[in-house]
Structure 1
């Protein structure tokens, strides 16, 4: 890995923009903050509406700090706190997959979990930097965390498809309805590519083609499935932000590995 720091820079900007979009949207639509306050009050948290405003303001400040590359430690910790509490209050009782795949209307925790992995990678690189003479070592380790987390998140989807194939014909028919030939066979091809690319990333082998394979499938998924919907994932909105975060993860890993692998060839 030649330049892991530039890969982490991609993660930093992507995470900041994705989280900032929620805070800005909430500030522009205060009724959503009131809804969050009602949810917090229903979970027996004191001063639910005031707490909701505090969360939105905290997310805004932490995202702006990440974009500027300043106050990285408190910015990462602030976002991690909000995401962890969100998983405990909203996502944890439900199935892992976002978008309400298992129970309609209830988003799973995988998007928040991947965001937390990215933030932990940034936090690790920030905390460890003063303790190690070579500044690339903590960035290297942080980007490894991003690589493993993104690969594991993607791998859960084809493995679920292999374990429960009864839902695959419907997906194949959906693809054929969009004009793709051999829809059922195409679904199996997608699952096989996702599995192979995830295993390659977990083993840290063929990293560049694995990242390209995942990014291509995710980009096609955005075009065919997510683009007509609002940006935000779940509940039931099927937006594209989770796919964009995954693409950012794979681009960051690809950028860090490309020079070395090209030189090896």
Structure 2
């Protein structure tokens, strides 16, 4: 079984749903025009929104190929950090329960990507020593 199979599976499903649904519903365009443009990214808000969604979409597949795990992790971690800063921080910690739209889910995703990234790094390092 591939290392971190369960983390890769969960991240793949989450990123797939997060990208495909918003692409087909038109939310990605609204996010770019109605949010990103208004917080200072105009006139590039829509392009940035599409870049984020396409990174998530391509990550679904690239996360399964060990040479791309580190790059996929870094790109997604940066997206989630900016998401925390721009959107979720003002809402506190909780996504549901003690609040809404907080940072807890993004923090969990960042930790999953860090685990994936550093597990792969250490396994590659061990393989190089034994060669």
TM range (shorter): 0.7 to 0.9
Aligned partner of residue 234 in structure 1, secondary structure: coil
CA shift, 1:149, in A, is 0.9
Matches within 5 A, 1:103-252: 141=3, 143-165=4-26, 167-172=27-32, 173-181=34-42, 182-234=44-96, 237-252=100-115
Q: RMSD value over aligned CA atoms?
A: 2.1
User: Which structure: larger Rg?
Assistant: 1
The whole-number CA distance in structure 2 between the counterparts of 1:186 and 1:156 is 19
- Any runs of at least 4 consecutive aligned residues in structure 1 with deviations exceeding 4 A, and if so which? none
Say which is worse superposed, 176-185 or 202-211, in terms of deviation.
202-211
State the shift of 1:162 in Å. 2.3
- Deviation track 1:230-252 (CA, whole Å, cap 9, x = no partner) reads 20003671001001001000000
Aligned ranges 1:46-61 → 2 under 5 Å: none
SS at match of 1:212: helix
Structure 1 residue 190 displacement after superposition: 0.7
Cα distance in structure 2, aligned partners of 1:153 and 1:248: 14
**Cα deviation digits, residues 190-239 of structure 1 (max 9, x gap):** 11111112211134451110111111111110000000112000367100
Q: Which runs of 5+ in 2 are unaligned?
A: none
Are the structure 2 counterparts of residues 210 and 163 from structure 1 closer, same or farther at C-alpha, using a change threshold of 3 Å?
same
Cα distance in 1 for partners of 2:7, 2:46 equals 32
Higher relative contact order (CA 8 A, sep 6+): 1
Residue 206 of structure 1 aligns to a residue whose secondary structure is helix
CA deviation vs aligned residue, 1:119-158 (integer Å, no higher than 9, x gap): xxxxxxxxxxxxxxxxxx8xx75x2211221222122111
Q: Distance in 2 between matches of 1:151 and 1:204?
A: 14
CA contact (8 A) 2:66 2:120 kept: no
Contact kept? 1:158, 1:195, Cα under 8 Å: yes
Q: TM-score, normalised by structure 2?
A: 0.82
Mapped to 2, the partners of 1:206 and 1:239 lie a distance apart of 29
State the TM-score, normalized to the length of structure 1.
0.43
- SS of the aligned residue for 1:202 comes to coil
Stretches of structure 1 that go unaligned for 5 or more consecutive residues are 1-136
